[in-house]
Amino acid sequence: MNLIPALLVLADGTYYKGWSNNLSQTSIGEVVFNTGMTGYQEILTDPSYSGQIITFTYPEIGNTGINFEDTESKQVSVQGVITKCSSQKSYSWRQTTLWDNYLKKNNIISISSIDTRSLTKHLRSFGAMNGGISNEILNPRDLVDKVRQSPVMEGLDLIKENTTSVSFSWNNEFMTKWNYSCSKFPLSRKFLKVIVIDFGVKFNILRQLSFYGCSLIVVPATTSAHTICSYNPDGILLSNGPGDPSTASYAVQTIKDLLITDIPIFGICMGHQLLSKALNGLTFKLKFGHRGLNHPAGLLQKVEITSQNHGFAVDFDTSTESTELLQLTHFNLNDDTIAGLAHIEIPAFSVQYHPEASPGPHDSDYLFHYFVCLMKQRILYEN
């Protein structure tokens, strides 16, 4: 692998020198960090990372190569990659290509030999901020000027860039040899119709719903409630996605219209934030976000270890919605932000974290089962 000098500059003027792959380019985005020890391929292809440059705190990245079974979308969503050590060799019986080849094929610039511990501590102290990676501009003053001219994450609507342009049925079958769920539902018969509103959905959410007996129709984020209801769905899933939830007023209005139906609704990550806004909650930007595989979430001494990836959180303290109608089901036990809620009178619930994991622990898989139970209960009630 041919390495060339590169520069990482943050918006506050802090800079680091390192080495990059030989893509001649400059990339700017919000610099964030992920504390996971595994799953770098899933992270690269998670649409929720759109517009961001990922700092991997785990020092060795790329040593198991890349395969084409673990991707979470059809494209790499990140703006750039920061590592301590970018492995030039990889060893795995599942790999189909090398880490560096994969980055270059997808036109993603990386920078390695960075003190990622120092960078992470800086972001924790001063907050996630815009930054730039370049192997063309090696003068920090010149690069920081470009960084400061770029739009910040707060106020950006990135959903429209990551949602599907047309509705489609999800036909990809799950791989039973890798599936960890303990579902008792028949796997060959799809007996529940779920509409997935795509704000930047991960493939494993679709795989898990399929495993639990759901036939899926994925629709664009701008789809109206009338169109969604015309499919006569048994349930609606609000997917994960990137950007600032306060900019997606079109999605909030759609969810408000859906809430007056009796169709069960399940929100994940961005879906949780948009559902909360539809219930008159507020969202705010976290200082440096929650991104990793070991975040504790729970309530009343019941703890799940969860996979999380978000830079915004929900606030109901100043909400006009009566909290008597809402049950806060989970809190992030690191900082006490809201991590899950359910409406008492409406079959709607959501979580801030990723129950489908990929990567991450499987403690929260039961939420898909709960969603299925809500749909079956509605069907039984109507019949």
The terminus-to-terminus CA distance of the chain in angstroms comes to: 64
Q: Name the residues annotated as catalytic.
A: 269, 354, 356
The verdict on whether omega for the bond into residue 359 sits within 30 degrees of 0, i.e. cis, is: yes
Both tokens assigned to 332: 């992030």
Contacts (Cβ under 8 Å, ≥6 apart) of 357: 204, 293, 307, 364, 365
**Sign of the alpha-carbon torsion through 235, 203, 288, 25:** negative
Contacts within 8 Å (CB) and 24+ apart, 360-365: 360/36, 360/39, 360/293, 360/306, 360/307, 361/293, 361/294, 361/304, 361/305, 361/306, 361/307, 362/180, 362/181, 363/304, 363/305, 363/306, 364/297, 364/304, 364/306, 365/180, 365/181, 365/182, 365/208
